Amino acid sequence: MKLTKFTHACVRLEQDGRVLVFDPGTFSETDQALSGAHAVLITHEHADHVDVDAVAAALQSNTALELFAPEAVAATLRGKAPEAGSRIHAAAAGEEFETSGFAVRTYGGQHALIHPQIPVVANVGYLVDGNVYHPGDSFAIPDGVEVKTLLVPIHAPWNKVGEVVDFVIGVRAPQAFPIHDALLNELGRGLVEGHVTRIGAKYGTEYRHLSSGDSVEV
């Protein structure tokens, strides 16, 4: 499976001519990420994870495209692209489904707390083919499975470095790559990734930096 990172939280998976995209948001290169996609998984409703206009346009122009998202996101997109309504599906934690040949399991349920005065929204983490786990804006650890490839939210208004490290330790995937990093400068990135790399290695996780546009086989 080929994994390509785009800016911030957007990741593209390609396997046997099939393409799945996580979280094409407003910080990301959505047109490039969605080109030729067969399935889109949206973790939650925040704009840095879903560019509503770009995704609606993709659903309208690509009649093979299927989308899964929490109900609030799905409802918004049905309103924007009503002709694609049958291809827009609500997703919640604790489900299993298949889309375009990819097997998906869902975890979590809600966004991490930013502040008590900021409402908590639904957030769904997705594990694809028992391999790649995208938690969205949460540190929900999948139960009953061994994650092979972990996507790590290394910086956000809702996290701190110790929580990032504990998430990597808790999942203990053999390999991990960054997401949710658009707001970091190089100094901040080096600090966070240094801790994740060093401490994660003690628990069997090889963390590797990816820049936007980089691809790896997973």
Starting at the earlier edge strand, list the strands of the sheet with 206-207: 96-99, 102-110, 122-128, 132-134, 149-153, 175-179, 206-207
pLDDT of residue 194: 98
pLDDT of residue 211: 97
> Residue 43: which of 25, 26, 60, 30 has the closest Cα?
25
Q: Give dist(CA 68, CA 44) in Å, integer.
A: 10
Q: What are phi and psi of 133, to 5 degrees?
A: -115, 120
pLDDT of residue 41: 98
Are 91 and 72 in contact by the 8 Å Cβ rule? The answer is no
Which H or E run contains 170? Answer: helix 161-171
Mean pLDDT, the chain, as a whole number? Answer: 97
List pLDDT tens digits, range 34-63: 999 999 999 999 999 999 999 999 999 999
- pLDDT band for 176, please (50, 70, 90 cuts): very high
Q: What are phi and psi of 24, to 5 degrees?
A: -75, 95
List pLDDT tens digits, range 74-118: 999 999 999 999 999 999 999 999 999 999 999 999 999 999 999
